[in-house]
Chains A and B, each alone.
Chain A
Amino acid sequence: MQEIDARGLACPAPVLLAKEALEKENPDILKVTVDNAAAKQNVARFLTSRGFRVSDTRKGDDFEVSGEKEKAEALQDMICEMPAADAKKILVMIATDRVGYGDDELGLKLMTSFIKTLKEMGPDLWRLVFVNNGVKLTVKGSEVLEPLKELESNGNKILVCGTCLNHFNLLDQKLVGETTNMLDIVTAMQLADKVINI
């Protein structure tokens, strides 16, 4: 293991010191102490680009960036731990009522088509989360109430952000899904095998 004190040095000096250390000593673990957030990010990027697993800890006003060389066996373990292909839990997070930027009319049409097509994911589709403008898809007047109800009756849980409904004054207009909070959303994300953001 090697340690470098790069406090008091301006970018890119901390990265250059780390580079020199790798080239000379080729350590498995390298710890670099820096005194500003930019140097912390730069050193982390550098170590990542050289195949290190990187973490950082705050030490008073300073940061210690720690990199550990990824071992071949470790990579192997990761591959083995990948979930079986037939047991996926896909969470779709919908934070808008239209798909993409550009033309709004097109975006709304695309969203309708997206929701209607989601069922093609079959049993892999697990939960839908609606936040911000996305909650408007779950209220009176939405064009996708029917396909959403169909997904719900097929066992897909639909979570709708309560704070968001409240913000838009739509709490009493919601016609599909259950009102939820951020803790539920974060927990669902953690349990999911894949999160798709729209």
Chain B
Amino acid sequence: MASPETINLVTRLMATLNKDAATVMKNYPVHACTDITGFGLLGHLAEMVIDSNSGIQLMADQVPIMPEALEYARMGLFPVGAYKNREFRESMVRFSPAVDLLVQDILFDPQTSGGLLMAVGREKADELIEELKAKGIDQAAVIGEVAAEPAATILVF
């Protein structure tokens, strides 16, 4: 069903190890880091802020999403885990009405390949992204910001 371009992209992303990213990370004051796996991006973000004094403001349109993923989402090709992840953590997440329902569900989708989610000071963020990209991690992006309020909550814009 998938196009050859998508198959290539997915294969490449799945085969990319976190080793290079982890090596780059060591040169930066990264405060926290987790790998995004079965709980989905929002599930693992929630783990980072639960019971803490901080919250997250996530910019949905900055999250790298494979182009064909949206089409498959529209077709209802979600694993059961996506619904379970949502059920589990939706009390911690508030979506702006501007965020498409399909994108909301993709952000809870467990189909990820363990990419790293790093928290780093704002002043170092762009530099870190540049260096990651230079090492071939071309999907690296700033996707949000840590905020004091509302605590232990993820706001998705």
Name A's B-contacting residues (CB within 8 A).
10-12, 15, 19, 36-39, 41-46, 49, 101-102, 104, 197
Contact = CB atoms under 8 A, between A and B. Distances in A.
B80 A43 contact: no
Interface in B24-80: 57, 73-80
Contact of A41 (B74, B76, B96, B97): B76
A43 B75 CA distance: 8
Nearest to A102: B57
Nearest to A12: B77
A41 B77 contact: no
A19 B75 contact: yes
B83 interface: yes
Contact of B75 (A15, A36, A37, A102): A15
B155 interface: yes
A42 B57 contact: no
Contact of A101 (B57, B76, B79, B84): B57
A101 B80 CA distance: 31
Nearest to A49: B74
B86 to A, nearest CB: 10
A52 to B, nearest CB: 12
B75 to A, nearest CB: 5
Contacts of B83: 37-38, 41
Given A10-B80, A38-B83, A101-B57, A45 B155 contact: no
A12 B79 contact: yes
A67 to B, nearest CB: 12
A120 B39 CA distance: 46
A11 B78 contact: yes
29 contacts: A10-B80, A11-B77, A11-B78, A11-B79, A11-B80, A12-B77, A12-B78, A15-B77, A19-B75, A37-B83, A38-B79, A38-B80, A39-B80, A41-B76, A41-B78, A41-B83, A42-B77, A42-B78, A45-B73, A45-B74, A45-B78, A46-B76, A46-B77, A49-B76, A101-B57, A101-B94, A101-B157, A104-B149, A197-B97
A101 B155 contact: yes
A101 B145 CA distance: 13
Given A44-B76, A101-B57, 12 more contacts: A11-B78, A12-B76, A12-B77, A12-B79, A42-B78, A43-B76, A45-B74, A45-B76, A49-B75, A102-B57, A104-B149, A197-B97
